[in-house]
Amino acid sequence: MATENFIVAVGSKRGPKLNAVSEAIAAFAAMLTPGARFEVAGREVETGVGHTPSSREELMRGARNRAQVLLALARTGGANWKYFVGLEGGLDVVNADGVRRVFLESWAFVTDGTRGYFGRSGGVEIPEALAREVLENGIELSAAIDTFAGAVGIRDAQGAWGVLSGNLISRQEAFRVAVVAAFAPFYNRRMYQEARAEV
């Protein structure tokens, strides 16, 4: 029997994002489609949101928009892509007992063209000074974290995640967790079908 080959389209060409998707798929490929080979293909697409999303809703919208743009490209261009992955990183602002808390989060949206699901990383609280730079002064997070850390190109290395966690969690790892979570209804279909049947 011939091995099936599937292409997973990702709405970015950035290394940490593509590597995150590849690592995630390697972890669950045998559960998703036993014996199949998966290839990850990156395409730069528009997000439809700001350069640094500043709410959970905007993060989710950006991730979903990326996946939907890929789906539209496949339908108009005839690309044979099996899954469409949108990834978005940014800030989630929470009011906790009258105090603003700002968390860095990584979100994923995955669709097969019929069904779509979200997943996210955990969150790491960012310093108030960094939050002010981004939220009040309008500085893009990637530029603000470079200044904050005294380095250049952090976005394509460990990312803000690495800087804030002392390199215990990288940007790539945060996106990997989000992708694993977003794909769960696909590779763990039985659990999701049974849960739906019981509701």
Domain boundaries, the chain: 5-109+116-126+168-198
Measured CA to CA, the distance from residue 199 to residue 191 in angstroms comes to: 13
Q: Report the relative pairing of strands 99-111 and 83-96 from DSSP bridges.
A: antiparallel
pLDDT at 199: 42
pLDDT digits (tens, 9 = 90+) for 62-95: 999 999 999 999 999 989 999 999 999 999 999 9
Of the pLDDT bands very low, low, confident and very high (cuts 50, 70, 90), residue 195 is low
Write out the two tokens for 187. Answer: 């590779």
What architecture is the 5-109+116-126+168-198 domain classified under in CATH?
Alpha-Beta Complex (3.90)
Give pLDDT, residue 196: 59
> Nearest Cα to 126, choosing from 150, 149, 101?
101
- What does pTM read for this prediction? 0.93
